[in-house]
Structure 1
Amino acid sequence: MFARAFRVRANTNIKGSDRRKLRSEVAAAFPTLSTEQLAELVPNKEELNVIKIHSHKGEAITVYMNHRNPILFEVEKVLYPTVYTLWVYPDLLPAFATWPPVLQKLAGGADLMLPGVVVPPSGLPQVQRGTLCAVTLLGNRAPVAVGVATMSTEEMLAAGMKGKGFAVLHTHLDHLWEYGDKSSPPTLAPLETDCAAEEGAGDEEELQGKEPGSSCCPEPQQHVDIRDLSLKDRDTCAELGKEELPENRAAEPAEGGSMEEQQEAEDSRTPQEQMDALFNQCFFHALKCKVKKSDLPLLTSTFLGSHMVSCCPAGKQLDIKKSSYKKFSKFLQCMQQQRILQVKELSKGVESIVDVDWKHPDIKAFAVPEGFSSASAAQDSKSEDREQVYHAPEIIPLYGVSTKMIPLFQESGHRKGSILSSSEVRNTIINYVKSNELVDETNKNFVKVDAILCDCLLDKSEQDEISHLKWDELLSRCLERLQPLHQVTFSGQEPVVRKGNIEPIDISIAQRSSNKKVTIIKNLELYGLDPQCVANTLQQKVQASATISPAPGAKDRVQVQIQGNQIHHLAKMLLEEYQLPRKYIQGLEKAPKLGRRK
């Protein structure tokens, strides 16, 4: 459904009554969610947006956004969770595991076939046809796809695990996921031992001189579609579990104690103390490795949901209700009292982290857990690679030979519709003038107008009056009578030639009700800028509400609208950060004049 890019038709803030209605619909669709979880998913005060989009197939879809991430989408009055929501609530839907290489095919729009489903020793979850299900990867409980079962569990087994099992709607790495902050799935340990882990356990027993226990786990190759996976891929997947145990064994002596002593020390703490320690570990880990100065101000909910959750060790889950703080705001107040960070309420009911003391002794002394040192760094580098730095496009004006100008250009071998650069037009005119000896002998700054130049460059009222033209006027008249075109070259892409002159980025100020002003930005798409990304960046910079809506009179284009006169911030962002030439930005002169401070 989101394998290809979609069009955003509207982006608005959700009202209080609609928020309550959405919470009741979520409670009905997902009855396993507790009251606290419902309040977290659809909060009372934090900002929620409703986005109306059209998929590449023309389907009308409603997406609900919590800050930067889509949390739910609705198709034909049916609610579906996104992978961002399932990473916070991994047990919300019945889950079926598949092999890691299959994810690329699912993200490309393929459905999940039953030969690609891994059958655990305890059997498949019991579902009926039409049940909403999650898809996980072998060895990680974090869902990577959402789909609908096309047959019941009994029908799957009766079919010999052949045929289509799930119609996939949304996946990690698809365009809906890209609409969010593009974070990677957390690492969550499976609730039960999978086949690969049992193989690793068997290898460990052999290394210790013990006989491995017998296992009834079916061979993974029996459930892999050979058309979908190569033998090399299957071997790689099967070795995942084997690599984890040696790493854990290698980490034991580094801790300075045996596993039994560590277990006893951990068991001596109450569950509340263990949760407090987990929150502290994830807090310092997120500040040290995930949050950058450029991310500030950062919403506290985003810090918890996107940064701290991704730092949670495998097999554990952050739950503030099980800690001594009970509320995340109280946890942050405690950290603020220690002068580690500063939290402010930038807008009513919404708190943000505005400053972090990265030189604080507790942050500097924190050691990143060994399990995260290589894996998380690799994931961060990949996510940074995906978020490529914007490069301003190269824009070159071009000119097409029109019917009226054919006589002037045909001597140089050009025909109607030939595309020339300004230098090629100039050289063609110079060659024509010199070859026909039209340079004025008494004043070489002038060119004599012959019959062809007269027909091509002069109006009927001028033909009897003008006999000579200056070189500059001759060239400017020629360019005016050619068909305007322009070539746009984006970084790493082939040049694209379009008709007409490129429209500048248009910035205007409009008046709304209660004498409020809004800033409207159009034509961002022509310069390779994502309107949603610009809106999000500007919203964080000025802490004002920003929305996206269809641009009037322009097909398949949208406009960004942000509260207040924000032209100063826009000019700094477009000219300095995005390096766009000033001549391609229209409306910068409407910036508010800054009065002198008394």
Structure 2
Amino acid sequence: MFAKAFRVKSNTAIKGSDRRKLRSDVAATFPTLTSEQLSEVVPNKEELNVIKLYTHKGDALTVYANSRNPVLIEVEKTLYPTDLMLPGVIVPSCGLPQVERGTLCAVTLVGNRAPVAIGIATMSTAEMVAAGMKGKGFTVLHTYMDHLWSFGDKASPPAIAPLEAELAEMEGAEKEEQEDEGEEGQAPENSLPADPSLQLDTESLNTKEPIQCAKVGEKEEPTENGAAEIAEEDNPDVLQEVEDSMSPQEHMDMLLQQCFFHALKCKVKKSELPLLTSAFLRNYMFSCCPKGQQLDIKKSSYKKFSKFLQSMQQQKILQVKELSKGVESIVDVNWRHENIRSFVVPEIAAPESPIQDSKGSDGEQLYHPPEIIPLYGVSSKMAPLFLESGYRKGHTLSSSEVRSTIINYVKMNELVDETNKNFVKVNPVLCDCLLNKSEQDEISKLKWDDLLSRCLDQMQPFHQVTFFRHEPVVRKGNIDSIDITIAQRSSNKKVTVIKNLELYGLDPQAVANTLQQKVQASAAVAALPGTKDRAQVQIQGNQIHHLAKLLLEDYQIPRKYIQGLEKAPKMCRKK
């Protein structure tokens, strides 16, 4: 059901009355739950969201998420748990339990009782045995590592050891299987398959019989149950196909986790803790990004680095605390965590930041200033004016595209004034889009320049940043300038403070090191107040002259994107 990407229609917090109703529905549907388990699924006060979505086949579903993690799926007014929340009933040593059609089932791996998938039985136990464990046995709704799992915090299933009875039974089964193969060369006809990579845990829950089914006992079946992916996880071709089918957001999630575990395993030392989260991202994770790729957290499902760290903290990989107001730090790392220990460091890591110096030893330019293009977003007020050209609300255009669109609209609607072609007649659409209430009864014509400037003023500002050898990145609003200020410190000492260097691909620590060498003054990098992953450079004295030369000449940042150069000290004239 979630083997392919789904589309989210809405994601809202649940109301108090709906929370109580959901709690009672869950208790009625799953009567074996204890009050503690019920509180885990439907908490009383914690964050609980209602997510309405469409699967890749167009089916409308409702998902309930507890602290961003899906816990319940509602299909045709029937509730199903996700495989990571409700425990299944262990298969007894006497054999396969009695399962009826419509029974909710949990799929587990041999040797681990933690469920990795949930499904609905499409035949009873007797029918399964009569069919020789062949054919369509159950429909799988949700599996480990599918798109619904990716929607949550991507936690791995816990390792739950088998019961002693299960261990003895598995050892006995393996011994009997080896003896049977030695004597007869084949397994009994009505026994389980020789390679039972999956076993069933079941819980007697009556549900509606589903329509679409997946085959049991045939791990090569490429259906939505995900069993084929688990059975063939060591096949590089299968892994490549899975990676190719990922969305850009899933690729960014995978890159984010790769850089995170690489940095923890190879870069961070225990003596460096506590470590600012912004410094960890800037100085450690970015340097672990593979060559040719760019780590952009806004393109991941987490959107913010703080949410990603919160997810890692919930998995007990690290601990984050706010040691000072508004500034978070990593205070502890669990280097014995399985996810860190099992992480394989890529052979080719990203080179260190090229902004140690603006030019190499052979004079080759290492830092390339980004290309910045102002863009304009179509607002709801301006949407009728751009509709004829195929643009809708949210589309972004360059100034030339806006100009050509307006010219085409005027010509198509024959709005050029016949007596004076420098003027454009204002029709009802232009009136609603460009004129305020006091002007609507007074203005009937606009000059071309006035018309175009009014259009740009009414549109939402965006900007596109293209870094060297990277795809363009579009961001909302106007890009902040590199801000240079002079601050007064104790003993009447002055310091130069530089902000927003990261927006232009400049590493604040590298800029601080370069300035320190040039002016022979102490420099420091600190977290920018009010931000999570930004920093500011502070260097003693009024160093705007040296800073202007570095930014304008060495880094070739356009002057219009630098604010504060006028505060440079006046040079004394020689007598």
State the TM-score bracket (shorter-chain normalisation).
0.3 to 0.5
TM-score of the aligned structures, taking structure 1 as reference length: 0.38
